[in-house]
Amino acid sequence: MLDKIWRFLKQLIQRLLGTNPKIEHPQPPPTLTDAEYEAKFMELLEGVNQGWGKGDVAEFLLAKRIKNGDLAAWLRRFGDRLLEGGHGDTAATDAVVSLQELARRLELLGRVVGGELGEVAGNVGREILVVFPLVSDREAEEWKKRGDEQFMKGDFEEAIASFDKALEIKPDDHEAWYIRGLVLD
């Protein structure tokens, strides 16, 4: 009881003298709009494209007061909206090229950062490339298809030439290497 009276008197004196210390509670970071997230995320991707490492990314997120989990959740929604926006045949060529560059940077971020944010970034990048494949990938697929048709017709020399062309475009295509080997056999 005396303790309560003492605290009351102490607070009264502090209020009268104007020395009552204000209790400051840490303010949570403000919730960002989608446009703000997008602007900051594009800054982040530009930094990663210029060679930022994991520490640089962490420092950027800390300076911007962005949590990895919040950014990963936003990125999932952002990726879904991008993919709902259209498909390869209906999108303008410049928009497709921009999406492909975005996908490349997302995959790069995925390799640099790791964790939840890296996983989401890599997944979104790969999903974009499934819907909007790189021109060289489509061209390589066309050459493989042509090679398959030539192989089935028994035109082995032309089939090998077609698979060679596909491998010029996409040298790491294991399927093209395998089928080329079958044709050679």
Q: Which residue has the higher pLDDT, 22 or 165?
A: 165
Domain boundaries, the chain: 34-133, 136-184
List, for residues 119-157, the tens digit of each pLDDT value: 999 999 999 888 877 767 778 888 999 999 999 999 999
Q: For domain 136-184, which architecture applies?
A: Alpha Horseshoe (1.25)
* C-alpha span between 163 and 144 (Å, rounded): 6
DSSP 89: T
* C-alpha span between 7 and 20 (Å, rounded): 12
pTM for the predicted model, two decimal places? 0.57
**11: alpha, beta or left? (left if phi > 0; alpha if psi -120 to 50):** alpha
Q: How far from 96 is each of 18, 91, 129, 133, 135, CA to CA, in Å? A: 64, 6, 10, 9, 10
The structure tokens listed for 179 are 């089928």
Closest CA to 160 of 172, 148, 170, 169: 148
